[in-house]
Amino acid sequence: MVAEVTVKGYFEENTFFYIDDKTKHGFVIDPGAQGEGLLRLIRKNGWVIEKILLTHGHFDHTGAVEYLRRELKIPVLAYKRANEYLLDTRMNLSAYCGQKVVIENVEYLDDKDRIHLAGNPEVYLEVIYSPGHTTDSVIYYYAKDAVAFVGDTIFKGSIGNDQYPGGNGVELRRSIIEKIFSLPDDTVLCSGHSEQTTVGDEKRRYGFS
């Protein structure tokens, strides 16, 4: 099950929960703000959140990380280049917005890693490295449920911004074409700042089908 919660910090951002229906164990992806509200939702639903997963290190995707890590006593996972953003307030953009968001002591992921649920090891998210918006951007994909958490790589009807530090337009388009558009057309794309869409819809929008 996918649960989407729009949180509001400096920006609005979509936080996602990926929950195994059988065990109620799951992951929280990109908790950007309003940690107290996210925690209330977790407890209300009886979810057991095992890990915090980050699609990239911009502060609008990490603002509630420390609160949830402390309250739930769970690890934070991010791509192996994430410290370029998580430890640098200019790279993660918080310095430009009057904030100082730094996330330390994360566990590193690599391309093609699988993150299994301890509560049900048959359920996992696959890591797909997708640079372009940032150098540490990843997608979390589960083929069985046809869902991909794409961060800010692609949105419904538009693509991510490549003008922030570490952004690269050529790499961004390559990630979309080679990584996202190679997924099955019925794959639901859950992004950080738009409504959900599908691979097929975005391919048609950009003339790839």
Calculate Rg over the CA atoms of the chain: 16
Q: What percentage of the chain carries pLDDT values higher than 90?
A: 91
Contacts 24+ apart (CB under 8 A), 156-162: 156/189, 156/191, 156/194, 156/195, 156/196, 156/197, 156/201, 156/202, 157/194, 157/197, 157/202, 157/205, 158/194, 160/132, 160/133, 161/133, 162/132, 162/133
CA 141, 146, 152 angle in degrees (round to 5)?
Answer: 50
- Provide the whole-model pTM: 0.96
Which CATH number covers residue 145?
A: 3.60.15.10
pLDDT of 68 > 90? The answer is yes
pLDDT band of residue 175 (cuts 50, 70, 90) is: very high
Reduce the DSSP state of residue 184 to 3 states and report it. coil
Q: What is the pLDDT of residue 209?
A: 66
Measure the CA–CA gap between 11 and 139, rounded to whole angstroms. Answer: 21
Measure the CA–CA gap between 24 and 200, rounded to whole angstroms. Answer: 30
Which two structure tokens, joined as six digits, stand for 108? 């590193």
Domains held by the chain: number: 1
Summarised one tens digit per residue, pLDDT across range 112-143 is: 999 999 999 999 999 999 999 999 999 999 99
- Residue 12 is part of which domain span? 2-205
Summarised one tens digit per residue, pLDDT across range 193-202 is: 999 999 999 9
